[in-house]
Homo-oligomer: A and B are copies of this chain.
Amino acid sequence: MSAAENNTPETLTEDFDSPDDRCPAGRKAAGEDPAKREQIIEGAKRVFMSVGFDAASMNDITREAGVSKGTIYVYFQNKEDLFGALIERERNRVVRSIKHALDDHEPIDEALFEFGMTLTSHITSDHTIRAMRMVLGVSDRMPQLAKRFFVASPENGYTVLKGYLERQVQQGRLQIEDTDLAARQFIEICMAGMMKRRLFGEMDAPPERAYIEKTVTSGVLVFRAAYDVKTATR
């Protein structure tokens, strides 16, 4: 455990800065071949996703990734480290997808609708729900991991939206005192509890697009009823 703590996610992404500096002959240094690293993570992902952290055995991962046990331990210090790297990769993937969801749409209605659709679809997807469950399942042992995952995935939408709202307020199109709160409110109205229901298994498949559309549409209406310029709410 002490060893694992040295391996904070921050350092993980730095591992590849110059992978082949030391091995010009083509032979990769131990634990420095990005393709093999990817191969291992890909196998680990399949196993972790389907049974969770504790129930996943390193043997399963070995089999699924098609590499030997020893090789995994060259690339990752231990099971937790491997799991952390996997979550970190997912994190990066998500951040990219949401980043530009609010950029260009001119009418506020459409911009918010698009944003709400993207975020809700993403968060209720099988992929994300499974990842969340896994992360939460080990959050006692790896609290930083859960936090980082959250900041990257659901919370990231909040950051983007808050910036957007502030710009709209500055431009006089919306009247919001607390943009922090308003951003959070909008996100939650759009999801209307679907994330919770998916997490706990009350909904056992991602909601249909029509249902999401209806929910997000209503969310935009509620939000504008509260924060449009004419209305003097709060």
The one of B54, B133, B218, B231 that contacts A136, using a Cβ cutoff of 8 Å? B133
The secondary-structure label for the interface of chain A is helix
Are A55 and B196 in touch, CB under 8 angstroms?
A: no
| A229 contacts B by Cβ under 8 Å | no
Are A187 and B193 in touch, CB under 8 angstroms?
A: yes
The closest CB in chain B to the CB of A135 belongs to B200
**Residues of B with C-beta under 8 A to A107:** none
The number of residues on chain A lying at the interface, defined by a beta carbon within 8 Å of a beta carbon of chain B, is 54
| A221 contacts B by Cβ under 8 Å | yes
Give chain B nearest CB distance to A132 CB in angstroms: 8
| A201 contacts B by Cβ under 8 Å | yes
Are B219 and A146 in touch, CB under 8 angstroms?
A: no
A positions within 8 Å CB-CB of B: 50-55, 132-133, 135-141, 143, 146-147, 149-151, 154-155, 158, 178, 181, 184-185, 187-189, 191-193, 195-197, 199-202, 214-215, 218-219, 221-223, 225-227, 231, 233-234
Known: A133-B140, A222-B234; 20 extra A-B contacts, CB below 8 A, are A51-B141, A52-B137, A55-B140, A139-B200, A143-B201, A146-B200, A147-B202, A150-B196, A150-B202, A154-B200, A181-B214, A184-B192, A185-B188, A188-B192, A189-B189, A221-B234, A222-B223, A222-B225, A225-B225, A225-B231
